[in-house]
Amino acid sequence: MLKLAKTSLLALSIITSAALASDILVTVNGKNITKQDAQTFVKSQAPQANFSELKPEEQKMITDRLVEKQLFTELAAKEGIDKKPEFQRNMDKIKEELLVNMWMKEQLDNAVVSDSEAKEFYKKNAAQFMGKATMHARHILVDAEKTAQEIIDTLKSLKGEALKTKFMELAKTKSTGPSGPKGGDLGTFTKGQMVPEFSKAAWALENGNITTVPVKTQFGYHVIYLETKEDAKPIAYETVKDKIVTSLKQKQFAAKISEVAKELKSKAKIVSVTETATETKK
């Protein structure tokens, strides 16, 4: 049984080593540069980017930069830069910054917000969690007002599915807009997302109806068909829960930092240089 356990551990060690080896991009004078190093570099430049998703030429460029950085690091050490007083002073500053940043991170990580607290905040601040009113519409865009009016005259006697079907047909054959081939479909959008003239006319419609006069905008003349319109409604708690918890943790963190800072200042011996200079003159 013991022999089997040792064998298993050996196999695990081999697998782990192989996995680590697969993460190595290049070795420079015995120093490994890994995918994790590249990812850290990428995040420092573009927080949303991912090294593994970059194009091969972009990955190569980043690897080259990391190789150069390692070579410059070795050269700087060889020339004794790390022995200079200025280097040590800067290292001390970096150490102080790191100490504070890590302590701050611990305080934020230790902040606790219960589900009941988050729900209570959600209820008390309901206005903050309202989704925008939306609509799904189609349009036919033409250059001349007369053409738009002729389209309206063709459609105005139709209702229901017959109106929608005919509207889509005319959009495909007459609309000059990019949505024409899709039956004039503009998808779903919110209030204020379209140009003012278009928005005003569209939001005045009822579901399944068209505008009865051409709507003029900077793009031309529109005939608009409203598929559906939905009023603003509350965003579900589960959708915003994480944001609420994060926000409450940050407030809790800020309050604690302020309290700790106040306490530390009250116990510390803080002497103003200006006050000292004034006392000396006296």
Tens digits of per-residue pLDDT, 99-137? 999 999 999 999 999 999 999 999 999 999 999 999 999
Which of 124, 158, 134, 146 lies closest to 216, judged by CA? 146
Residue 210 DSSP code: B
pLDDT at 142: 97
Task: State how far the Cα of 212 lies from the Cα of 224, in Å rounded to an integer.
Answer: 9
| Strand pairing report for 185-190 and 215-217 | unpaired
Whether the per-residue pLDDT at 191 is higher than 80: the answer is: yes
The tens digit of pLDDT for each residue in 131-177 reads 999 999 999 999 999 999 999 999 999 999 999 999 999 999 999 99
Of 38, 35, 15, 16, give the one whose Cα is nearest residue 24. 35
- Return the minimum-mean-pLDDT range out of 19-28, 49-58, 230-239, 253-262: 19-28
The CATH number of the structural domain formed by 24-83 is 1.10.8
Rounded CA separation 123/53 (Å): 41
Prediction pTM value: 0.56
The domains of the chain are located at: 24-83, 85-129+244-282, 131-230
Could you tell me the pLDDT band of residue 215, with boundaries at 50, 70 and 90? very high
> How many Cα atoms occupy the beta-carbon half-sphere of 206 within 13 Å?
2
pLDDT band at residue 203 using 50, 70 and 90 as cut-offs: very high
Residue-averaged pLDDT of the chain = 89
At which residue do the structure tokens 């192989």 appear?
A: 18
How long is the chain? 282
Span 1-36, pLDDT tens digits = 334 344 444 444 444 444 466 789 999 999 999 999
Q: Is the pLDDT reported for residue 96 higher than 60?
A: yes
269 phi/psi in degrees, rounded to 5: -95, 105
pLDDT at position 14, please?
Answer: 41
Could you tell me which CATH class the domain 131-230 is placed in?
alpha beta
Counting beta carbons within 10 angstroms of the beta carbon of residue 9, is it exposed (0 to 12), middle (13 to 18) or buried (19 or more)?
A: exposed
**pLDDT bracket for residue 48 (50, 70, 90):** confident
> Where does residue 80 fall: left (phi above 0), alpha (psi -120 to 50 degrees), or beta otherwise?
left
Question: Of 115, 99, 104, 98, nearest to 256 (Cα)?
Answer: 104
CA-to-CA distance for 192 and 90, rounded, in angstroms? 52
| Helix (DSSP H) and strand (DSSP E) numbers for the chain | 10, 6
Sequence letter at residue 70 = Q
